[in-house]
Amino acid sequence: MQEKSGPKLAFREELPDACPPPEAKAIALSGVYRFLPSANPKNEHFDSYCLLKGPKPPPTVTLCQWSACSLFVTREKAVAKIKLQKLRSRFSHFAILDVPANAGYSESGQNGHLSLWMLKHFDPVTAILKIEEIGDV
Amino acid sequence: MSEKKRRAKYVSTLVYVDEPQLILLESKKTKIIAMAIDLGGHEFPFMAATMTDVDWRKYKRGSVDLRYLFAFARLRRLYKFDLGELNLNTGLLMEPWPADLPVANFLPDSRFFVRDHTEPLPIVQSASALQHFALDGAWGLPDFASFYNKISDIYAFISAIAKFKSAQTSYDEKRSIISAFAHHPFRGGFSYVNLFDHLERLLGSGDSLQVQSIRYASAGYVNVKGNRSVFAEIQEFINIFSNKNEEIGKQYNKLYKYLADGDFLAQDSAALERTSPEILKLIRDEAKTLAHMMSFAEFDLMDTFADRNEVVLAKIIMAFYRRIEQSFMFFAQGRVEFGDLT
C-alpha cells in the first residue's frame, strides 16, 4: 500500500489538505460500476464535480468529498440510484471497470457506494471491462 | 399547491453520488425530503416535499417508497430550492413549486426505498415522552408483570438498534450491541430473556423504559417514560399485528417448523454443519418474509449482527415476533389500549 502523504504521490486532481481521508485505502476494486452519459466513455466522465463544476461545493459537502469520483460495488447497488430524477436524466450506461490497487485511494461508504481519488497515472477509460446500457429499472 | 416561501434547515444527506442526490431538511418540526433535479437556471436545484411524521416513519421502515412521498403522500406540499443557497446556520428559503412546471417530469421512479440510501439515516434524539396505557378487565399481578416485561423487551430491542445506528454511539458501544445480538441466541442453554436483558443493560438507566405511575385496578393505567419515537414504533408494530396477526402467525409457524425439523431449536451447533445450503437459504428467506410481514425494516442489519448465520438471524426475528405477538394479545383481549403520548 502506498503512503498518502509525501511529495511523490500525484493525484489526478488537485486535492485539499488531508485528502483523501485516513479511512481511504489503496486497494484493488474489481468490477465496480460508474454511471456514464453515453455508450462512449471519455476520461472526463470520471472527473469529480470539483473539476466539472468548480471548487465550490454545496455547503453540505466537503471539498475532499467533492473531489472524489463515485463508484458502486455491484450493478444492483448502482441501478437503484438511477431511479432518482437527476441521475436518470443524465446517465444511460454503466462502465464496469477494474481499479488496480496502485490507481488511487477509495473509501467505502454505506450500501455499496465508493469514493475514489485517482492518481494521475491512472487512465480509467482503459480500465473499463465492459459498457452496459442501464435500460428500464 | 403551496403558496408561501418556507424556511428550512439542513438535517442530513441520504444519497450521495458525485453530489448530494437526496437530502433531509426540517422546517420547525416538519420533515422535508428533497431530491436533486435536472432544472436549468440553478446551480444545485432540488424538488422538496413536506412529510407528516407518519409518512416519514413509513418511509424509514421501508413501507413506502420515495415516489409516494413526492406524488401521493397526504398533506404534502411541494417546493423547489437551490442547495447552493444553503446557509448551515440559517437554512435556506424554499419557493413553492411553480404551477407551470409539471411535477410528473421530476418524480423519482417507483421502488426507490430507504434501503437504497448511501448514507445512514440521522438519529433524531426525540424528547422523552410519557406513554399512557389504559388497562381494563381482570388483571392479576403476573399478568401485569408479563405485559410490562414484553413492552419493555420490545422497547429495548428498538432502542438498541437506534443506538447502534446513531453517529453519537462509540465504537465500543456498537461492538457491545452486536455482541448481545450475535452470541445469545446460539449459546448452549440459551434463554431469550438473556438477549433482551442484555440489551436493556447496554441501554443503561438513561435510555431504558421507566415506569412513571401505575394505577393497579380495573380500570387502571400504567404510564411509562421513554423515547417518543420508540413509543411510536411500538404502536405501529401493534397496529400491524391488529391487521394481520393470523397471517404473520402462520409465517412464524412455518419458520418454527423448519427450525424444529433441523434440530436448531435446541441450539445444536452441529446441526448447522450438517445442513445443506438449500435449507439454510430457505430459513433465511422465510425469516425475511416474516420480518417483511411485520414491517420490520432492519432485517439486513440483523443479518450483519448474526454474522450471516441463518439460524441466529431467524431466532432473533422470531424472538422479536413473539414479544410483539404476546403484547398484541393484551390489546386484542380488550385489556389494554394506547392512551395519550405526551
Residue A44 within any structural domain of the chain: yes
CA–CA distance, A57 with A39 (Å, rounded to integer): 28
pLDDT at residue B189 in the model: 45
Residue A125 within any structural domain of the chain: yes
pLDDT at residue B268 in the model: 54
Residue A55 sits in a domain of what CATH number?
3.20.170
pLDDT digits (tens, 9 = 90+) for B72-127: 998 899 999 999 999 988 999 999 999 999 999 999 999 999 999 998 887 655 55
Q: Which residues of B touch A (CB under 8 A)?
A: 10, 13, 15-23, 35-38, 43-44, 47, 66, 83-84, 86-88, 106-112, 115-120
Binning pLDDT at 50, 70 and 90, where does residue B19 land?
Answer: very high
**Helix pair angle (B141-165, B310-332), 10° resolution:** 130
Task: Give residues with Cβ within 8 angstroms of B102, minimum separation 6.
Answer: none
Q: How far is A111 from chain B (nearest CA, A)?
A: 5
Alpha helices (H) in B186-276, listed in sequence order: 192-207, 228-261, 269-273
pLDDT digits (tens, 9 = 90+) for B191-250: 566 788 888 888 766 677 888 888 877 788 899 988 888 998 999 999 999 889 999 999
User: Does A83 sit within 8 Å of B108, measured CB to CB?
Assistant: yes
For the full predicted model, state whether its pTM sits above 0.90: no
How many domains are contained in chain A?
A: 1
Residue showing cell 438535517: B11
CA–CA distance, A12 with A41 (Å, rounded to integer): 17
Q: Domain range holding A42?
A: 29-133
Q: How far is B25 from chain A (nearest CA, A)?
A: 12
The DSSP result for B259-277, as a single string, is HHHTTTTTT-HHHHHTS-H
Residue A113 within any structural domain of the chain: yes
pLDDT at residue B196 in the model: 85
pLDDT at residue B94 in the model: 97
Task: Give residues with Cβ within 8 angstroms of A57, minimum separation 6.
Answer: A49, A50, A63, A65, A66, B19
Q: Are B207 and B156 in contact (CB under 8 A)?
A: no
CA–CA distance, B215 with B133 (Å, rounded to integer): 10
pLDDT digits (tens, 9 = 90+) for A48-58: 999 999 999 99
